[in-house]
């Protein structure tokens, strides 16, 4: 199979080549993102392999379909960047990696919580400069705090199990309750109840028309003063402008994000020698109680292994015309 891989970093190529011996695919790796302009690079390819910030809209799909592409292989769980109707109309199948390491993302969410709370990143920098003062480094106990979890799929459920170990009370919201979590002592409530009761709010839901900007001016208004908000799912779950306003008024006491609404123009790139043009990300970086990582929650050896293996298995199933169990319909 001829596979065009977009948004490729050195580690993507490393892992695909590591597992390709059993598949003997012919890869073309492109650092550029897939969009309607770069779609011409798919000429002669059977499959396009894309990541979270590739733009697989109707215009892109029309080009790749004309080039003979029959499968869009996502190397991620989310598929909000793919126009499924357009793909279907062109006879192109879409497959994803629904579960690659829920522990990786859930553990990163906890890392954001602990770092924001105990300010270990600031303490590290201080001590490196010979400053051993504890001034402004005070945190709070997680024990007995109420943690709200929006979305209790595999990642959200794993996060609940981890945070339960800290002695937290957990209230969750999802369209379907998880029986295992209920037995663990997690309680489910309405979305408004989760917003109102949470000391810490962690987002683990997919991005769709129902969840876009689920954290906004209205929902922030009902939250506790000084709430901590953590997002390791999709950037557009949070209305950035409203979050900035919440930080200014101190309604939001802490914000930890691994994803960002406009991240496709920033994340995964070294911009240290450039002037960043995104005013909202610059504003967020100016707050001492905001912690931003660049979509690295998934980035563990175990997750990269599983992402690569599952992506290659999806492509093999398509090639062999067998059941494509991870097809998105």
- The catalytic position among 75, 213, 261, 263 is 263
Please name the residue that has the structure tokens 């997690």. 186
Neighbours of 10 (CB within 10 A): 9
Read off φ and ψ for residue 301, nearest 5 degrees. Answer: -60, -45
Query: Catalytic annotation on 210?
Result: no
- The catalytic position among 108, 234, 261, 313 is 234
Query: Catalytic annotation on 180?
Result: no
Query: Catalytic annotation on 234?
Result: yes
- The catalytic position among 108, 204, 213, 295 is 295
**Catalytic site positions:** 234, 263, 295
């Amino acid at each position: 199979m001829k596979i065009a891989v977009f948004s490729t970093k050195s580690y993507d190529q490393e892992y695909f080549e590591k597992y390709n011996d059993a598949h003997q695919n012919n890869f073309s790796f492109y650092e550029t993102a897939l969009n309607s302009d770069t779609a011409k690079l798919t000429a002669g390819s059977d499959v396009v392999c894309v990541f979270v910030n590739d733009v697989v809209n109707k215009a892109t799909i029309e080009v790749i379909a004309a080039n003979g592409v029959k499968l869009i292989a996502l190397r991620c769980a989310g598929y909000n960047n793919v126009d499924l109707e357009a793909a279907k109309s062109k006879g192109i199948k879409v497959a994803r990696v629904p579960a690659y390491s829920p522990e990786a993302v859930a553990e990163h969410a906890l890392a954001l919580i602990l770092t924001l709370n105990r300010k270990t990143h600031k303490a590290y920098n201080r001590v490196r400069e010979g400053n051993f003062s504890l001034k402004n480094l005070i945190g709070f106990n997680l024990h007995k705090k109420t943690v709200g979890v929006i979305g209790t799929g595999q990642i959200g459920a794993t996060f609940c199990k981890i945070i339960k170990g800290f002695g937290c009370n957990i209230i969750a919201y999802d369209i379907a309750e998880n029986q295992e979590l209920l037995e663990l002592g997690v309680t489910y409530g309405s979305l408004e109840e989760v917003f109102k009761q949470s000391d810490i709010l962690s987002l683990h839901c997919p991005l769709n028309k129902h969840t876009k900007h689920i954290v906004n001016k209205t929902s922030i208004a009902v939250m506790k003063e000084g709430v901590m908000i953590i997002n390791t799912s999709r950037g557009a779950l949070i209305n950035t402008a409203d979050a900035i306003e919440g930080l200014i008024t101190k309604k939001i006491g802490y914000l930890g994000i691994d994803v960002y609404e406009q991240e496709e123009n920033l994340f995964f790139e070294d911009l240290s020698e450039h002037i960043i043009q995104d005013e909202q990300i610059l504003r967020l970086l100016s707050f001492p109680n905001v912690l931003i990582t660049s979509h690295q929650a998934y980035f563990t050896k175990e997750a990269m292994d599983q992402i690569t293996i599952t992506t290659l298995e999806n492509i093999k199933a398509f090639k062999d015309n067998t059941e494509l169990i991870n097809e998105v319909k």
